[in-house]
Structure 1
Amino acid sequence: MIEHVQLAINPKFQDWVLFENGTYIIFDDISTVEDVKKEAVKLMKEFGPVYAGGSAGDFSVIHLNLTEGWLVTGHGYGMYTYVHPSELDNESPNDLEIGLYGRSKRDSDGQNPEIIHINGSKAL
């Protein structure tokens, strides 16, 4: 998953944190963040969970060119969820199917945020 996410992110963004279910947060400048892990978990807990009728339910789907899959966006600056085609039952999913699945992954990361990778200058 890390390789797919690296290919999905614009190379000008080098500071990001990836969570267990594929949601990641891009930081503008990770060197200005005192505790990257703590800040990433805080943001994930704030913007990751999906509640009925809340803004977390809104999403859009980005089709990727440099790797397989899609990114699902939602509220929360710099927060995206990677969805690989193998995760879906349908071989030709539409944006609604992709978005709903990605949103459920983001909700899982928001409910139980487990960091699996930190990329950037403070990748400790």
Structure 2
Amino acid sequence: MSDKELIENVKLAINPKFQDWVLFKHGTYIIFDDITKVKNINDEAMVMMKEFGPVFAGGPAGDFNTIHLTKTEGWIVSGHGYGMYTYVSPSEIQNESANDMEIGLLGRSKRDLDGKKPEIIYVNKSK
């Protein structure tokens, strides 16, 4: 999936009332509720990703929920870290009848990649 396709899918996945968010290379994004409290959205997103992105065995980052999307194909995987979600595309799933556990594990591994080598590919700001 190209960066452009990823950005478009994430835009459709996020509730339009949330206008301030940062997207990382592997599909993890962070939504900011109140951008007025953030000095630099890129810096804050990097700090949060480095803290909450990496997954460690037995840690809270191992917990996740899988959310089925309605405005675009795919799923969102939520977990440890407020406002942090990971988009999973159907094209990334080899098993056509994948369950929430399989999708969630893939989303968690993608978030781990973003946490260990964070690279911002898109910033959406309301102002």
Where on the TM-score scale, by shorter chain, does this alignment land: which range? over 0.9
Number of the residue aligned with 2:73 = 68
What are the Cα deviations for residues 28-50 of structure 1, in whole angstroms up to 9, with x where unaligned? 12233111111100000000000
SS of 1:99's equivalent? helix
In 2, Cα distance between equivalents of 1:34 and 1:16: 14
1:106: how far off?
Answer: 0.2
Number of the residue aligned with 1:96 = 101
- Identity over aligned pairs, percent: 71
**Which of 21, 41, 47 matches 1:42?**
47
Number of the residue aligned with 1:119 = 124
In 2, Cα distance between equivalents of 1:45 and 1:5: 21
In 1, Cα distance between equivalents of 2:29 and 2:112: 12
SS of 1:52's equivalent? coil
- The aligned amino acid for 2:25 is E
- TM-score, structure 1 as length reference: 0.96
In 2, Cα distance between equivalents of 1:56 and 1:107: 9
| Count, aligned residues | 122
Number of the residue aligned with 2:86 = 81
- Counterpart contact for 1:58–1:74, Cα < 8 Å: yes
**Which of 11, 28, 48 matches 2:16?**
11
Gaps of 5+ in 2: 1-5
- Counterpart contact for 1:45–1:110, Cα < 8 Å: yes
**1:20 paired to 2:25:** yes
CA RMSD of aligned residues (A): 0.8
**Which of 56, 62, 71 matches 1:51?**
56
